[in-house]
Chain A
Amino acid sequence: MKEMQIVRQSGGALAFLAGVLAALVIGWWIFPQVLFSKQEQPIRFSHQVHVVGQDMACDDCHFYREDGSFAGLPTNEKCGECHEDVMGEDPAEEKYVTEYYQEGKEVPWLIYQYQPDNVYFSHNAHQQYDCTECHPNLADNDSPPPYYRNRISGYSKDTMKMWRCERCHAQNHVSNACYVCHK
């Protein structure tokens, strides 16, 4: 009788531990994979070809406009300065020129650090920081990294959360009042 009770107790502990272990595996390994859908950029854009091969500087494409606003990713107007017609033999370039530029369509680039409209972020106010403090360094990248989209929120996996903004503001003695970022 007593033996059976011991067996039941150890069996119960084992089941409990099995449940914990299963939850940890699901939570730390499976859940992140299920939560994010993996997407590729519509055009395989090579920073390496442009930066290394063509000796272009970052701000040739990612520049501040005259009014101080940040242009972000270049539009057809900028890309078309060189890619009005197909220049090389890369199928990605041909796809861009024929399917987007010549059709008058902008490329729907996937923005790794996409912030929602209710966040007012001024690149100009953060000019003293290196781009790579917030953005991944893609300057030597030949093929853009996959984009992971959160299936619930719709945001990018790399979208900076508010706590990171607040931490940096606090460390640099900048106001964390709501209206600083939410107009």
Chain B
Amino acid sequence: MGLDRRGFIHLIVGGAVGTLFTPIPWKFADDLSIWTQNWPWIPRLKHGEEARTATISKMCAAGCAVNIRTVGGRPVAAEGNPNNVLSQGGLCPLCAAGVQMMYSPSRLPGPMKRENDSFKQITWDEAAALLADKLNATVGKDGKLAMISGDESGTINEVLSGFAAALGATDYYLMPGDGQTSSRVWTGLMGGEGQIGFDLENADLTLFIGADALESWGPTVRNQKAFSASRPGGEKPKASYIYAGPVQTRTAAVSDAWVPVLPEGLASFTLGLCYFLVKNGASVDTRDFDSFKNLVMSHYTPDKVEKLVGLKPDTLQDLSRKLAQAKRPLVVVGSEFGQGGGQALQAAGAALNLLMGRLNQPGGMIAMPEAPKVVDAALDRKDLLAKDLVSYLMNMEKGRAATPDVLMVYEANPVYALPQSEAMAKALAKIPFKVSFSTYMDETAALCDLLLPTPHSLERFDDVYTPHGLGFSAWALAKPVSKPACDNLNSADFTLKLAKAMNIDLGFEDFESVLQAKAEQLGAMGGFFADEAAPWDVRSGAASAEAASDVWDGAQEGKAWCSVATVDQRALRLGAEVLAKAAQPSPDVSYPLSVSPTLQLNVGSQKVATPPQNLTTIRNTELRGKASFVQVCGQTAGKYGLSEGAMVKLTGPRGECAAKVHITERVMPGVVEAPLGFGHSAWDAYTRGKGDNTYKILSVTTEPGTGETVWTGSKVKIAKI
């Protein structure tokens, strides 16, 4: 009996019916649904023991004290460390994203060298041999080797600058910042000693002039903690805050008052306040006080200040009255975006604090001892801060300074984050052999010939000593929380090893030993751990603390070493002669608007682009699609025919950029507020090509009298496109 067509159909139907009584359809459907939930690219959790390791995150310039939560040894989240006084349990937006940035797609996988337009991965030994070869050719020839560091507060500068010095090079520069300008003014122009800081915690009235202290200036999280401690919820505020600057920044928004002042007029405004104090009999015991008095009484009268900065005399007088009435007033000056502010503003701010008798007083301006040096060959701190990178690069661009043969860049992005950035990038591009120690493929790394990635901040030994703005000396240690996620090597260890191979003795075998020596020297200075007593309470006499016995052990537990020691001044000056030339703005009719750049840490910093997890914190009036926004007030918008959302071109003397317009009364007339942190051309898909780079339109001028390079108050013209 054969199987005919009808029989075959019966067989198939029987098979189908029979299948319904088997697990096949039900199991298949079930497993298929599970399969669709488990695509191979979905990351899997790593289970394991949960732990917390205290360290310092250096994603931001000041550094945040963090407890890194690990699961099975793998970092998963950053939490604030309440036992460390640097940030007191808080976190800035960059350090909050620190763990995520360990796994950023823009991380460099290992040492690489350029081959035409791409990079080829090489071994660390090959990289060291290649660099040693290039460096040997520069030995003893000053000007042939230059280094740029993006870390203002770390001991790694001693290793790198000591190495440079041993090779006969003196061109070692930090990326620009207010800390350097403050040092140049205090230890240079004013003949002072030590590092200037501000005891915010003990002040009862703080006037921020320019410095956006609660958003991005100085040790931001500590500033925020001081602010919140003085404004307890439901209680009477213990301190008042006033912000003076061209934009109602986030600092201004929470202060008791915002005084709009043009960015180029901040020094004149400050000297205008000095006028009232001097008029009321205030004086400072310096040789040039009479010259200073003559200067402010003749050139910074309320009427003249009104002409210079457009501020009503009554407003200025009312402000000076508040300062006079406060028991512990404090003036904190700085650039709105933490760099390029000029010496006149810093000198005027220091003079105002001195006139109020606030030097080395609780709640005042504090002159603190510098960190002890442990690498003998390294640059002294004062000399390090005195060097001006922007001036050096401008001279190189104009052919006034020799172009080095080798440039080494540590954790800095000068191609992106310097004023008139396109011109700066051209100057840097002329250097024949460029080396980057960046963790990420930033704009500078993309231009370099040799990439020697240093581990992420949470994967290495590092430290931070008294970031600019802190009101007490502090030192904290960063230690590796996990092994580097990529084939990275600590730049300090690499340098020490390279030095040894080149027969240069820097006195240490590895960076951990350098930091141990630093801890030992700090221990010899006295000081205490801040978990025993808050340093501001020790300074005011409200608490006392026993001297720290073993700084290294305590630092490894995540404690910050602190000191409230002050430095007495011997031959202080007010710099009156220089101020007379430097402080007054000069109008430029070709470029009628002043740019006020805003640095918001959620968007990024000089050296870090926007972390992917922070993208959702950017408002649609800051970035929409591929366009970033500049902000102007209604009066400025009306004057130039601008409407909300209009696309405009901002043109400065050395560059231009495009943006959309947002109209807001947070910006004073005659000013364009422009965000920093957008317009990256490297990094990753999360940041590349989003918005335009405001650094392009910041133009550098030379401050009369001081020769300081200045780019606050950069001038632009605006046109619809």
Contact = CB atoms under 8 A, between A and B. Distances in A.
A20 interface: yes
B228 interface: no
B13 interface: yes
Given A24-B21, A24-B22, A152-B32, A117 B45 contact: yes
A42 interface: no
Nearest to A159: B34
Nearest to A155: B34
A71 B31 CA distance: 29
Interface string B428-455: 0000000000000000000000000000
Contacts of B15: 19-20, 22-23
A156 B25 CA distance: 19
B11 interface: yes
A18 B13 CA distance: 10
Contacts of A181: none
Nearest to A27: B22
B3 interface: yes
B7 A71 contact: no
A23 B45 contact: no
A19 B17 CA distance: 8
A20 B37 CA distance: 33
Contacts of A8: 6
B50 A19 contact: no
* Chain B interface size, under 10 / 10 to 19 / 20 to 34 / 35 or more: 35 or more
A91 interface: no
B28 A152 contact: yes
A145 interface: no
Given A71-B49, A116-B37, A154-B35, A19 B18 contact: yes
A28 interface: yes
A32 B27 CA distance: 10
A24 B38 CA distance: 30
Contacts of B13: 16, 19
Contacts of A12: 6-7, 10
* Most central of B22, B28, B45 by chain A CB within 10 Å: B22
Given A117-B45, A154-B35, A23 B18 contact: yes
A116 B34 CA distance: 10
Contacts of B31: 35, 150, 152-153
Interface in B35-74: 35, 37-38, 44-45, 47-50
Given A16-B10, A18-B11, A65 B49 contact: yes
A28 B12 CA distance: 18
A15 B3 contact: yes
Contact of A15 (B8, B19, B30, B45): B8
Contacts of A118: 37
A21 interface: yes
Interface string A1-38: 00000011001111111111111101110011001000
B14 interface: yes
B4 to A, nearest CB: 8
A117 B15 CA distance: 38
A12 B44 CA distance: 53
Contact of A31 (B6, B12, B24, B34): B24
A24 B18 contact: yes
Contacts of A26: 19, 22, 24
B44 A117 contact: yes
Contacts of A65: 49-50
Given A23-B15, A26-B22, A69-B49, A116 B38 contact: yes
Interface string A104-147: 00000000000011100000000000000000000000000000
Contacts of A75: 48
B422 to A, nearest CB: 47
A75 B49 CA distance: 11
A67 interface: yes
B37 A18 contact: no
Contacts of A153: 30-32, 34-35, 38
Contacts of B21: 20, 23-24, 27
A72 interface: yes
Given A12-B7, A15-B8, A116-B38, 7 more contacts: A22-B18, A23-B22, A35-B27, A65-B49, A117-B44, A152-B31, A153-B31
